[in-house]
Each structure stands twice: as C-alpha cells, then as structure tokens.
Structure 1
Amino acid sequence: MLTFKRKEISHHNAPMTYPAKAEIANTKRELADRLFYMGFKQEHVKKLQELSPVITFILDDILETVLDHLMKSPEMAKIAKESSTRERLKKVFADYFRSLLSGKLDDEYFAMRKRMGETHNRFGVPVTWFLATYASFQTLLIPKVVEQLYKDPEELQKSLLAITHVMNLDSQLVTDHYMTIRMNALEEANQRNEQLQMEIASVSQEVAASVTQAEHTVIRTSESAAQILEETGQTEKSSKNLVGLAKENEKLMNEMERQFVQSAEKVGLSVEGMNNLKNTSEEIIKMTQGIEAIADQTNLLALNASIEAARAGEHGKGFAVVASEVRKLAENAKALSGQINGLIDQNNKGIQSLVLQMKELNEENHASQDNVKRVKTGLSTFQVEMENYLEMFGRNKKDLETIVSSIQEINETTSGLSLATEQLVKKAELK
C-alpha cells in the first residue's frame, strides 16, 4: 500500500496568489475560464492520483458510515429506499470516488457527472440535499487526510485543495446538468402551458360559439317542443271526437244491421207469399183446364143433341134451340177459361219475375248486411286503435311536458355555461 512519507512538522508560508493559466488543469475548453477562476491546477489533478491509494484504503469505512448517516435523514432515507438499495448506492458511491481520484477529466468523467444529474432529477433528490452529500463526504474524508499529512503543511494544503476543487467542480457539473434538465423541463412545461393557453383560448372560443349556437338551438327546440305539445293536445282532442263519432257510427251500423235483418225477413215472407200465389194460380189453371174439358164435353153433347133434334123433326126444334144455347155457353165457357189461363199465365210470369227480383234483392240485402258487418268490425278496430292512440297520446303528452321542462333547464344551464365560457375566454386572453 502506498502511504505518504511522514516529515517533521515544518513552518509553511502559503502564498495568497492565483495560479497562472499555464498551470490550470487540462480539460474541456469551455471549462478553462472557470477552472482558472477557481485556481484548479494540473498539479491538483496529479495530487488526486497520489491520494487514491490512501482514500481507497479507507473508502469502504467512509461509505458505510455515510450510508448509515444518510438513513438517519427521513427525507433522504425515503428517496434511497424508493429508488435503490444500500448495496447499489454503495457501488455507485465507490465508482464515483474511483472516477474522482483517477485524475482523468475526460469524456467518460463528464458523462458520469451528466448521468448523476439525470439520476438525481429522475428520483427527485433536492439539489440542496445532493450538495449537502458532498459536504457529508468531506466531513469524513478531510480529517483523515489531515491525519496523514498534518506534519507536512505544504502537502496537506495541496491535498485539501485538490479534494475541495475536484468535489466543488463535481458539484458544479452535477448541479449544472440537474438544473439544465429542470430548466428544460420548465421550458417545455412553459411552452406546453403557452400552447395549452392558446388551445384553451381557441377551444374556449369554439365552445363559446358552440354554446351560443346550442343556446339558439335549445330555444328553437323548446319552441318546437311547445308547439308539438300544443298540437298533440289538439290531436288528442280530435282523436276523442273521432272515438265519439266511431261509437255513434257503431250505433247506426247496429240499427242498419237490424233493419237489414228485418228487410230480409220481409223479403222472405214476400217471396213465400208469391210462391203461394203461384201455387194458387197453378191450382186455378188446373181448375180452368177441368172447366175446358167440361165445356168440350158439353159442346160435344150439345152437338149430339142438335143431331138428335134434327132427326126428331118438328118435335125436336125446341130441344135443338136448347142444344144450340148450351153449345154457345160451352164455347163461351171455354173461351173464358182460355182468357183466365192467359191472365194466370201472365200473372205467373209477373210473379216469377218478382220472385227473381226479390231473390236478387235478398242477395243484395245479405251482401249489404255482410258489408255492414265488415264496416262494423272496421269501426270496432278503429275505435280500439283510437283508444290506444289516446292512451299513447296521454303518455306522449306527459313525456313532452317532461322534455319541455328538461329543455328549459338545459337552456338555463346553457346560459350559465355561455357566461362561464365567456369568462374563460377573457381569462385565457389575459394570460
């Protein structure tokens, strides 16, 4: 193990001057002025390499002590437990110190500090607390360095300056990355906020226009709903009148149906009476045919009597006269019987025509009766449907009343929303 060569304690006069630019540590060009301002020399970088063996030897004890001390702080303990484990933290700290004492201010060194800044930001470690962590390490580390070099003030001075300079530079770099991330986040948030304000203003204007349009629409809808409600009431009234008329028509149809039945019965009786007349006429015809037969026989007898009277001569003249009269009477009876038959035949034809007409009338009567039944059935169906419509109109009327009430409430709400939107637009424009 490398150790410092102990010297006897000697007096050392520390110069109160800044180093020349040529003595400044070699690193990134953009850090040159800052390192010159700090007085961070290249020899301080070499001194860190010389301190590496001593610090590495006590590093494990320092890290364990720092971690124990960290857990005593509720805020830091909470962040440590939520974001990592003790072993991982110890490894991170060990890697950090090895990088710190390497004396290499190269790209890998700066990349590590950038990652540290991103890590602290990601896990929400307050900047004041990770700056305090540097002081916490120095609280343990510096006394150990003094313990090794207190007899050589010049080496002690160089060692302490090297440690404080490099840890100060580290804190600057980590804080710079940390604050850069925060500032970028704030800038992005500010840009998003500005964009959001613009979108809010745009949306608010659109909402205001939409609300105004909706307000007009609601008003028109309310007026239309009120008109529909009024028309529904009128339709309901008309429907009630139609139901009343349907009931009256049903009564008239019942009466017509009854009259058709009576008419059919009368027609049936008339047809039956005419059939009876026809039968009577046929009986009369038969009787007249008998009369004609009797007339023919009588005529024949009168002819025979005339012949006999002619044979009797003078004695038969009176009988001949009687026979002639009888023959005339028989001929007249036959002629009258023929006339009666003609009249009866004509009457039968008329009766037959009337019977046909009565049958046709009866059939038409039945057809009309069927039509009346169908109309009656239709009226009954119409009445049932209209009663259903009336019931439906009643429900629709209640629903429309509810809708009109709801539209009025929506109109009031829309008016309030319109006012709120106008206020939002004004606020967005002010921002």
Structure 2
Amino acid sequence: MGIFIKKTKTWKEYMSFSHSTDISQIEERAKEKLMFLSINQDTLNHVRESARILNPYKAEIIHQFYEKLQSVDHLKQIILEHSTIDRLRQTMERYLDQFLHADINHEYIMTRIVIGQVHSRIHLTAEHFISAHHLLIHLMTSILMEKLYQNPHQMMQMVLAVQKLAAYDQQLIVEVYMEETLKSFLFGVSDLLNHTTRLDTTKQLIMSMDKQMEESYSVTAATEQMSASIQEVANHAVRVAEGTDEAVRSADQSKVEIDEALDDISRVGDVYYQVVEQVNQLDNEIGHIQQVVKIIKEIADQTNLLALNASIEAARAGEQGRGFSVVASEVRKLAEHTKEQINQITSNMNSLRHVSAKVIQQIKQTGELVGKTVAGAQHAREVIAQIVSTMKEISHSTSQIAAMTEEQSAVITEITERNSVIHDHSIHTREVAKETAKIIYDLSIKMDEYRNSFFGINVKLNSNDLVRVAKTDHLIWKWKIYNMLLGIQTIDSNQVISYEACRLGKWYYGDLPPFVKENSAYQELEEPHKLVHHYAKIAVENYERGNIHGAEEALNQLEQASDQVIHLLSKLEDNLSKK
C-alpha cells in the first residue's frame, strides 16, 4: 500500500527566496518585510485555500485560544482590566476572517498597526503576544496537518503560507508595539525631563540661603553690639547698685541724726510749752502784784489823808499838838513818798505787763511756729523713713537689674553663638542646595542622553511626535542656560546652537506636510524661537564677561520667549492630534 502514499518535495525546495514581491498595494517599508519572508500572491492564494479547511473550525480555534489565555493569571488580569471575553472573541473572529481572506492592503496593515498600539497601551508584553500568536498558528497548522496529511505537498504549501503570513503579522504588530513602547518610554523620559526643567526653585533656594546668611551675619553683629551695650548697662547697674548701697548706709546714718534732731525739736516744743506756762504764770503774778500795789496805794492815800487830818488836829491843839504835828508831817511825807514809789512801781508794772503781753504774743507766734516745726519734724521723720525704705528698694532693684543684665548678656552671647551655628548651617545648606541642583542637572543630562539614544533606534515619529520631541529639546536648552547661571553648567558662546541648527529648527525648516506649515501656530513659532536663541547667546556672552546681572536679564527675556514657544508648540500639538 505504501506505493500510494504521496511524498513532499525536499525542504529546500519550499525555501524559495526572492528580492521582490508582486504585492504592490502597500508602502515600501511594508514591502521589505514581504520580500524578506518571500510572501507573494501564491502565498496569499495558499492562505485563502486553507480558509476552506479552517473556517468550519474557527469557533473552536477561538474557544481553545481564549481557554488557554485565561489559564495564565497575568493574561486573564489584563483581559478583565481592559475588555471582556465576548468582545475579544468578536475581535479575534474579525482578525481570522481578514487573515484567511489574505488581501494585504493599506487596511490590512493599519489593522495590525492598531493591534500593536493597543497591546502597547495595555502593556501586554511582546513575549506574551508572540506566545499567544504562536498558539493561534499552532491551532491552525495542526488542523491543516490533520486534514491534509494525505496530501503532503498541499499541506506543506498551506502550512508554510499560514506561517509566513502569521510571521508577517507578528513583525508588523511587534514592530508597532516596540515603536509605541519605545515612544512611550521616550515621551515618558521627555515628560520627566519637562518636569525636571521646571525645578527652577534651586536658584531661589540658593538666593534665599545667601540672604539668610547676610541676615544671620547682621544678627550676629547686632547681638554682639547689644551684648556690649548690655554689659555696659550691667557695669553701670553694678556701680549704681554699689553707690545706692552707700547712699542707703548714709541715709540710715542721716536718719539716725535726723531722728535725734527731730527729738531735740520735740523737746524744744516741750520747753516752749513750759516757757509759755511760766510766762502766763508771770503775767498772773504781775496781776497779783498790781492788786497788792493798788491796796498799798489805797493805804498810802488813806495814810496821807490821816496825816493831813492829824496835822489839822495838831494845829488845833497848839503847843501840845506840835510834836504830833511833826509826826503827822513825817507820816504824810512817808505817805507821799510811798505814793510816788507806788506810782513808779505801777508804771514799772504796767511796762512789765506791756512787755509781758508782747512776750506772750511773740511766744504765741513762736508757739505756732514750734507747733508747725514739731508737726513738720514728725512728717519729716515719716518722709525720711519712706525715703530710706525707697532707697533700699531701689538698691535691691538695682542689684536685681545688675544680675538680670548679666543674665541677658549671657543669653545674648548664647544667641550670638547659636546664630553663628545657624550661619554655618546656612552655608552648609547652600552648598547642599547647590550640590542637589548639580545632581538634578547631571541626572537630567543623563536622562537626555538616554532619551537621545532612542533616536538611534529605527523609531518612526510622526509630526505630532516630533513636536513633542522639539518641546523637550527646547526646555533642555533653556535648562542649560539656567544652570549655567548657577555655576553648574559651562557653556561656550561659540557652542550656542543657532535657531536653524537645533532639532526644533531642523524640523521647522525641514520637509513638512502642508497641513503642518499652514497651521497658524506653526507660522507664529519662528519669531519667538529666534528670540530664544538670541537671548541664550546674550546670556552666555554676559556670563563669560562676568556680567551676571546682564546674564540674568537675558535669561528672563529668554524665558518669556520660551513660554511663547512652548505655548505655540502645545497649540500645534493639539491641532495636529485632531488630524
């Protein structure tokens, strides 16, 4: 029976290679893959022939395919997060219909491109996609081999055709997947760089630390001056306290002497009151004497009258009465003399009483003064006691002030020392800030180098992608100027790229489609882009001459022009994304 078994050709006969293909409805890039896989119309015809055998098993193929995928937890999780099995079954059915129809045209290729973009977006790895796609090929080739084993040559033609077209699909999908993934990485790095270049607070931090160091230095100088002043106050307070102590001792001694003087004044008052009493007593005695004198006068007058009567009677008696007359005459003379003496005494007594009245009046006035003096002396005693008490309190307060100023001087000295520590920390923080800025800048340069490495890979960028790349290029250039002013980056003015030579310039003045060049945002972009490079060059030249202020002014103008460039690029990006 073996003579009826058909044999296949040798494997080499099935491995035909060609440098051309008769499929012409696609772009040159897609044709290269067809030529490499030796896919031509015959290959497509064999795929179409296989459809007769595979179509009846299409539902089973899809069922087996997703049963296998759901047995892998990672793939099952992706399905649950982004779609459903029913939707995927419908998508797979459309894919198989298009695959078995085997009409390679623009729509066919775009379908595979969309598959690659979707897989990249949902982060299905190329490894899992290739494994799943091979599973699909195995299912189809297994059915073909089972049904065509009796016709080995036809089986080989169909199986190889299915494998070639499947390999072509894989290339298209994986290439797009890799391009989209690489662009995702590229733009991820670009976005990270865009955020990094906005970290322009480093300059503010360094300037703030410079200001803080200046303020710290001023505080140190002020506290040192304050410490000297407080120390001087403390010295004065000590001297005042010492002088106050001496004054208190003198005041205590003076108080003793004043108290003694006040006691003497009080005793003078007592003596005065005794004198007043004695003067009053003298006045009374004068009164009594005047009464006695009055009586004596009356007796003298009576005696004088009796003597006169006696003389008259003696004259009447004649010779007998002569002796009595002499006696009467003598008595009368005595009475007259007594009267004269009494008148003199009365006059003297009146003068004495008049003087006594004056003395009493003066004593009364003196008494009032003495009373006032005694009252004043008593008040003075209280005031002196209050003054001494106050001086003691002042002395105590002055001593406390001296002690407090000594403590304040110590506190100010400690503040000065701590402020000096703060100043040292500020210097360290400034260095750390500058070092951090350098680390950030170095990291951004490494990221930019990593970003630029993507351009060495065969990644196809559309106009929208190029705008995104240009935005990052532009921000990186501004970032370099900014870090130059921080002393982190060194730029030679001769190295400043012209607005035509940078990547944005090359793209802008390159061969662009009309829908880009006709866009208003594109047309407005040229002038601010020129200004960016103009001010960049001015900033570098000023920095080289040591004119930091001029360089900073140029940077400010550069940033204004740069904001306009970024605004227009973003606007252009939005417009292109709608095409």
- Same fold judged by TM-score > 0.5? yes
Matched, 1:180 2:192: no
Aligned partners of 2:365 and 2:28: how far apart in 1? Answer: 136
Deviation per residue, 1:357-377 (Å, 9 max, x gap): 222223333443343344344
Deviation track 1:234-269 (CA, whole Å, cap 9, x = no partner) reads: 222222222222322322333333333333322221
Provide the TM-score with structure 2 as the length reference: 0.59
Residue by residue over 1:257-292, the C-alpha shift from the partner in whole angstroms, topping out at 9 and shown as x without a partner, is: 333333332222111111111111111111110111
State how far apart, in whole Å, the 2-side matches of 1:250 and 1:195 are.
77
Q: Distance in 1 between matches of 2:7 and 2:173?
A: 37
Question: Residues 109-146 of structure 1, C-alpha deviation per residue, up to 9 Å, x if partnerless?
Answer: 865553332111xxxx5444433443354455533432
Task: State the alpha-carbon separation in 2 of the partners of residues 174 and 366 from structure 1.
Answer: 119
Q: Superposed, which structure 2 residues align to 1:263-412 within 5 Å?
A: 263-313=261-311, 314-315=325-326, 316-412=328-424
The Cα offsets for residues 303-325 of structure 1, whole Å up to 9 and x where unpaired, read as 11111111111341111001011
The CA deviation at 1:160 is 4.8
* Contact 1:48–1:163 (CA under 8 A) maintained in structure 2: no
Structure 1 window deviating more from structure 2 (281-290 vs 42-51): it is 42-51
**SS of 1:102's equivalent?**
helix
Aligned to 1:98: 93
Assess, with a 3 A threshold, how the Cα gap between structure 1 residues 398 and 95 changes in structure 2: closer, same or farther. farther
Mapped to 2, the partners of 1:252 and 1:113 lie a distance apart of 108
- CA distance, structure 2, for counterparts of residue 44 and residue 250 of structure 1: 129
Q: Distance in 2 between matches of 1:36 and 1:255?
A: 127
Tell me how far apart the structure 2 counterparts of residues 396 and 45 of structure 1 sit (CA, whole Å): 99
Paired residue secondary structure (1:361): helix
Q: Is the 8 A contact 1:131 1:171 kept in 2?
A: no
Sort the Cα spacing of 1:139 and 1:258 in 2 relative to 1 into closer, same or farther, 3 A.
Answer: farther
Q: Distance in 2 between matches of 1:221 and 1:34?
A: 76
CA distance in 1, matches of 2:306, 2:384: 78
CA distance in 2, matches of 1:336, 1:160: 179
Q: Which residue of 2 aligns with 1:161?
A: 161
Q: In terms of mean alpha carbon deviation, does 310-319 or 134-143 score higher?
A: 134-143
1:370 to 1:46, Cα distance in 2 relative to 1, 3 A: farther
Structure 2: tracts of 5 or more residues without a match: 100-106, 312-324, 439-482, 492-579
Does 369-378 or 276-285 show the bigger shift?
Answer: 369-378
Q: Relative to 1, partners in 2 of residues 1:52 and 1:278: Cα closer, same or farther, differing over 3 Å? A: farther
316-325 vs 396-405, greater mean Cα deviation = 396-405
User: Structure 1: how far apart are the matches of 2:395 and 2:97?
Assistant: 106
* Pair 1:249-2:240 in alignment: no
1:143-222 aligned at under 5 Å gives the runs 143-152=142-151, 153-154=153-154, 157-158=157-158, 160-162=160-162, 164-166=164-166, 168-169=168-169, 172-173=172-173, 175-177=175-177, 179-190=179-190, 192-193=192-193, 196=196, 198-199=197-198, 202-222=200-220
Q: Deviations over 1:148-172 (max 9, x none)?
A: 3344444663465346525642563
Q: CA deviation at 1:327?
A: 1.0
**What is the aligned partner in structure 2 of residue 429 from structure 1?**
489
Instruction: Note closer, same or farther for the CA distance 1:45–1:84 as it changes in structure 2 (3 Å cut).
Output: same
Q: 1:127, 1:175 within 8 Å by CA — same for their partners in 2?
A: no
**Equivalent position to 1:234, from 232, 235, 242:** 232
Distance 1:252 1:292 in 2: 58
Answer yes or no: is the 8 Å Cα contact 2:265–2:374 preserved in 1.
Answer: yes
CA deviation vs aligned residue, 1:395-431 (integer Å, no higher than 9, x gap) = 4333333322223333333334444555535784259
Shift of 1:294: 1.0
Aligned-residue offset at 1:190: 2.8
The CA deviation at 1:194 is 5.5
Assess if the C-alpha contact under 8 Å between 1:302 and 1:327 holds in 2: yes
Letter in 1 for 2:22: A
Q: Figure out how many residues of one structure are paired with residues of the other and give that number.
A: 406
- Please state whether the residue corresponding to 1:252 is helix, strand or coil: helix
Tell whether the 8 Å contact from 1:150 to 1:156 is kept in structure 2 after alignment: no
Structure-2 change in CA distance of 1:91 and 1:174 (3 Å): farther
| Structure 2 contact 141–162 (Cα < 8 Å) conserved | no
Runs of 5+ unmatched residues, structure 1: 1-7, 71-76
Bigger mean CA deviation after superposition, 80-89 or 47-56: 80-89
- Change in Cα spacing, 1:173 to 1:383, as seen in structure 2 (3 Å) is farther
Deviations 1:32-57 (A, max 9, x none): 75776564767578568653431421
Of 113, 117, 135 in structure 2, the residue corresponding to residue 114 of structure 1 is 117
| Residues 418 and 32 (structure 1), Cα distance of their counterparts in 2 relative to 1, 3 Å cut | closer
Q: Aligned partners of 1:377, 1:181: CA distance in 2, in Å?
A: 94
Higher relative contact order (CA 8 A, sep 6+): 1
Residue number in structure 2 paired with 1:21: 23
SS of the residue aligned with 2:189? helix
| Structure 1 residues 233 and 319, CA gap change in structure 2 (3 angstroms) | same
- 2:221 aligned partner: 223
Moved more, 173-182 or 247-256: 173-182
**What are the within-5 Å matches in structure 2 for residues 57-136 of structure 1?**
57-65=60-68, 68=71, 70=72, 79-80=74-75, 94=89, 97-103=92-98, 113-120=116-123, 125-136=124-135
| Separation in structure 2 between the aligned mates of residue 87 and residue 213 of structure 1, nearest angstrom | 55
Contact 1:285/1:344 (8 A) holds in 2: yes
RMSD: 3.9
- 1:215–1:415: 8 Å Cα contact kept in structure 2? yes
- Are the aligned partners of 1:116 and 1:174 in contact in 2 as well (CA < 8 Å)? no
Output the CA distance in 2 between the equivalents of 1:175 and 1:162: 20
- Judge conservation of contact 1:226–1:404 (CA < 8 Å) in 2: yes
1:53 aligns with 2:42: no
- Which amino acid letter does the alignment assign opposite residue 294 of structure 1? V
Q: CA deviation at 1:349?
A: 1.9
- Structure 2: distance between partners of 1:255 and 1:155: 139
Whether the 8 Å CA contact 1:246–1:379 is kept in 2: the answer is: yes
Q: 1:86 to 1:218 in 2, by over 3 A?
A: closer
The answer to which of 230-239 and 363-372 deviates more is 363-372
**Distance of 1:98 and 1:131 partners within structure 2:** 18
Q: Is the 8 A contact 1:264 1:365 kept in 2?
A: yes
Q: Is the 8 A contact 2:33 2:168 kept in 1?
A: no
Matching residue's letter, 2:337: E
Percent identity over paired residues: 8
Q: Distance in 2 between matches of 1:362 and 1:161?
A: 143
Q: What is the alpha-carbon distance in structure 2 between the residues aligned to residue 323 and residue 416 of structure 1?
A: 132
